[in-house]
Amino acid sequence: MSDYPVLRPEPRADVGGERLRQGGCSCGAVRFTLRGEPLVVGICHCTECRKATGAVAMAYADWARDAFTTTGEVRTHRGRSFCPACGSRVFHLAERDGTVEILLGALDEAPGDLRPTREGWIIRREPWLAPIAGAGQFDRDPA
């Protein structure tokens, strides 16, 4: 458990009027900024996402690669980058489709305003987790 304060930074906009969101690792050495709205927001319950996060499900949002900037040194394993000082997952640059995936918990704003619209691998969902109302439900990867 942590004693992090509740963070509600004012929504910021860049010169083009697009929304800016910021995030980073738990020690502050790695920071990133995302411009505009994500392409997709979802939850994945698959074994790989569970193991890679150590959480029972992974909440993520994907942006176009050119909407993303970052500072600080990272190490990367199978595309997943993390802070070498504190071990926090920070982002995943997907080579195949030119996107960057952010775990929602890495964003500064908490609680945030991004809501999952799809849930994948619900065959692995813990029985005490309820489906997200209105989100598409997929037994395995979302179509």
Gyration radius (Cα) of the chain, Å:
15
> Using the rule CB under 5 A, is 44 a contact of Zn ion?
yes
Q: How many CA atoms does the CB half-sphere of 13 hold within 13 Å?
A: 4
> Using the rule CB under 5 A, is 29 a contact of Zn ion?
yes
Give 39: exposed, middle or buried? Use CB within 10 Å, 0-12, 13-18, 19+.
middle
Are 31 and 106 in contact, with CB atoms under 8 Å apart? Answer: no
Are 135 and 116 in contact, with CB atoms under 8 Å apart? Answer: yes
> Using the rule CB under 5 A, is 85 a contact of Zn ion?
yes
Q: How far is the CB of 114 from Zn ion (least distance, A)?
A: 17
119-138 residues near Zn ion, rule: CB under 5 A? none
With CB under 5 A as the contact rule, the residue among 13, 27, 94, 129 that binds Zn ion is 27
45-64 residues near Zn ion, rule: CB under 5 A? 46, 49
Give the amino acid at 23: G
With CB under 5 A as the contact rule, the residue among 20, 40, 86, 93 that binds Zn ion is 86
The contact set with Zn ion (CB under 5 A) reads: 25, 27, 29, 44, 46, 49, 83, 85-86
